[in-house]
């Protein structure tokens, strides 16, 4: 196998592009794909400050690394989920990455800052753990991005994630969710701009990016996610991709080009957004879903609601 660019020995094949790359040109390929996604979907402008939602896994560390490489000012926020045997280790990877590069990483811990963990929240709210986790992450990352004055919140969602979510939403014709499945959601109604710079890269590419860049990441899967529907959708799509490379890309980007607009609600259909009476977060109800989750889980808002993410962007590596 020879590198498509330099004809030197290749270390990885990307069958979707019918291309092989050496290490150096593969890393360039990843950066180019992220730059293309940012440009094409107008995710960021020069000088924008970005908050990266960091989990300690391959995707979030890679997107942080690439955004910095492309010249953006990017800080990280890690959310400790209180999952035994998983959260402490993933936090260690997030901290080590930030420390090795002198980056600003804020850590919010659900058990100590909010008085609950994902397992207890799932049980109390009768949600599956991934649902309680997703709700917590969306609320706390949004809040932190707003409080820190960031121009955008970046997540590590990659092509496999987006194709799998699309697959699940199409199987069940979840019109509301399909209307939000864009690589960028603009700021509005109190929500920050949300961007997914990795949508042009598969998760195998992101894992390879980390190996070739020397980024040490949490390889072990979250024990609560094992066997969930999302992973099942990924396995089904990978089985198709194996026989027909490029299928995931065609599925997701075909949706964006030809169908996504059909699911975006018109101005008349949008629900009115106000402020949660407890925490002030934007919501279509009197009390937001996060505060309901807190209530059912026996959790609480931080005593000083301004204290948790307030240091974002102001920490030096010596504080990590």
Which CB sits closer to other proteins, 220 or 261?
Answer: 220
Which CB sits closer to other proteins, 226 or 272?
Answer: 226
Q: Is 12 in the site for other proteins (CB under 8 A)?
A: yes
Which residues, in sequence order, are CB contacts of 103 under 8 Å at separation 6+?
64, 68, 74, 75, 76, 97, 317
Rg of the chain's alpha carbons, rounded to an integer? 20
Q: Helices 203-213 and 159-171, interaxial angle, to 10°? A: 160
Q: Which among 31-39, 54-62, 282-290, 300-308 is the span making contact with other proteins, rule CB under 8 A?
A: 54-62
Q: Is 207 in the site for other proteins (CB under 8 A)?
A: yes
Q: How far apart are CA 130 and CA 221, in angstroms?
A: 13
Q: How far apart are CA 248 and CA 246, in angstroms?
A: 6
At residue 171, φ and ψ (nearest 5 deg) are -55, -35
Q: How many residues bind other proteins (CB under 8 A)?
A: 45
Q: Which of 19, 168, 174, 238 binds other proteins (CB under 8 A)?
A: 238
Per-residue tokens: 247 = 């299928």
Q: Is 89 in the site for other proteins (CB under 8 A)?
A: no
> Taking the CA of residue 249 as centre, how many other CA atoms within 13 Å lie in the half-sphere pointing to its CB?
14
Q: Which among 70-78, 103-111, 206-214, 296-304 is the span making contact with other proteins, rule CB under 8 A?
A: 206-214
Q: Is 11 in the site for other proteins (CB under 8 A)?
A: yes
Q: How far apart are CA 316 and CA 314, in angstroms?
A: 7
Please list the helix, strand and coil fractions of the chain in percent, rounded to the nearest 5, in that order.
45, 15, 40
Q: Which among 225-233, 268-276, 279-287, 296-304 is the span making contact with other proteins, rule CB under 8 A?
A: 225-233
Q: Which of 45, 100, 186, 239 binds other proteins (CB under 8 A)?
A: 239
Q: Which among 96-104, 172-180, 200-208, 296-304 is the span making contact with other proteins, rule CB under 8 A?
A: 200-208
Q: Is 119 in the site for other proteins (CB under 8 A)?
A: no
Which residues, in sequence order, are CB contacts of 153 under 8 Å at separation 6+?
50, 51, 53, 141, 142, 145, 192, 193, 194, 195
User: Within 10 A of 271 (CB to CB), how many other CB atoms are there?
Assistant: 10
Q: Which of 230, 249, 296, 315 binds other proteins (CB under 8 A)?
A: 230
Q: Please, what is the minimum distance in Å from the beta carbon of residue 128 to other proteins?
A: 9
Binding site for other proteins (CB under 8 A): 1, 10-13, 15, 20, 23, 57-59, 129-131, 133-134, 137, 155-157, 160-161, 202-204, 206-208, 211-212, 219-222, 224-225, 228, 230-231, 234-235, 238-239, 241-242
């Amino acid at each position: 196998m020879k590198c498509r660019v330099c004809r030197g020995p290749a270390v990885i094949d990307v069958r979707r592009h019918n291309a092989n790359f050496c290490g150096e040109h593969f890393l360039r390929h990843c950066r180019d794909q992220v730059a293309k996604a940012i440009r094409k979907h107008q995710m960021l402008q020069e000088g924008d400050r970005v908050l990266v939602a960091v989990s300690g896994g391959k995707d979030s560390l890679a997107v942080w690394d690439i955004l910095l490489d492309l010249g953006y000012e990017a800080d990280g926020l890690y959310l400790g989920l209180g999952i035994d045997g998983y959260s402490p280790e993933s936090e260690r990877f997030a901290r080590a990455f930030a420390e090795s590069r002198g980056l600003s990483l804020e850590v919010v811990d659900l058990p100590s800052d909010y008085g609950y963990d994902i397992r207890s929240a799932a049980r109390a709210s009768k949600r599956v753990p991934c649902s309680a986790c997703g709700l917590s992450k969306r609320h706390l990352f949004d809040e932190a991005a707003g409080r820190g004055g960031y121009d955008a919140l970046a997540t590590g969602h990659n092509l496999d994630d987006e194709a799998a979510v699309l697959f699940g939403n199409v199987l069940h014709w979840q019109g509301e969710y399909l209307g939000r499945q864009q690589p960028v959601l603009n700021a509005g109604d109190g929500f920050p701009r949300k961007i997914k710079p990795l949508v042009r890269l598969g998760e195998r590419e992101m894992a390879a990016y980390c190996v070739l860049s020397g980024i040490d990441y949490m390889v072990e899967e979250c024990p609560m996610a094992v066997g969930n529907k999302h992973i099942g959708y990924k396995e089904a799509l990978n089985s198709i991709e194996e026989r027909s490379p490029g299928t995931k890309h065609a599925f997701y980007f075909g949706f964006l080009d030809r169908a996504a607009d059909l699911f975006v609600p018109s101005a008349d259909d949008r629900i009115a957004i106000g402020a949660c009476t407890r925490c002030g977060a934007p919501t279509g109800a009197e009390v937001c879903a996060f505060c309901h989750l807190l209530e059912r889980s026996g959790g609480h808002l931080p005593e000083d609601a301004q204290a948790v993410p307030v240091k974002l962007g102001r920490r030096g590596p010596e504080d990590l």
